[in-house]
Amino acid sequence: MSNNAAQKGKHSSPGEGNIYAKANEVIVKITGADTDNTFEVVEENCKPGFQSCLHYHIKAHETFYVFEGSAVFQVGGICFTPVRVHASIFHPESRTRSWGANVDDLQPRRHRGDVCRHACAHTSAAYGR
C-alpha cells in the first residue's frame, strides 16, 4: 500500500466514524483513504420499513454482515430472507441488488421489522471517498 494512512491501520470505536444521515443513518467506519482505496467498511442502521431501490455498482463488490434485527436481500433476482443476526451475504459487482428491514414474526418483538443494523465492506473505487 502506498498511502501512509493505510500502512498505519485504523481503529473505529462504537459510535465513531463519518456519519451521514440519508434515508438511514450511515456511519463510514473505515474509508477508502484508510485502505489505499481498496475497500471501505460502513455501518447502516435501517429505519422501520426501509427498502433500498434495486440498483447495481459497476466497480463495487459488497459484503454485508447483519448484527441486529433481520433483513431481506435480493441479489441478481434471487431473494434471501430472512437474513438474520450473524449472517453474511455477498453482492458481486454489476449484479442488481436491494435490501431492507425484514418483517419477521419469529424475531423478538423489539426486532420485528423495526430495525436492521448491518455492516458492509465494499470496494471503494466506485464511491470516490
What is the C-alpha radius of gyration for the chain, rounded to an integer number of angstroms?
15
Residue 85 lies in a domain: yes
Residue 8 lies in a domain: no
For position 66, which CATH number holds? 2.60.120.10
Average pLDDT, the chain: 76
Residue 67 lies in a domain: yes
**pTM higher than the cut 0.85:** no
Q: What is the 3-state secondary structure (H, E, C) of 48-92?
A: CCCECCCECCCCCCEEEEEEEECEEEEECCEEEEEECCCCEEEEC
The number of C-alpha atoms within 13 Å of 16 and in the hemisphere containing its C-beta is 7
Residue 3 lies in a domain: no
What's the domain range around 51? 13-122
Model pLDDT for residues 60-92, shown as the tens digit of each residue = 888 888 888 888 888 988 988 888 889 998 888
Between CA 43 and CA 85 the distance in angstroms is 14
Residue 127 lies in a domain: no
Residue 1 lies in a domain: no
Model pLDDT for residues 51-60, shown as the tens digit of each residue = 888 888 888 8
Residue 61 lies in a domain: yes
Number of domains in the chain: 1
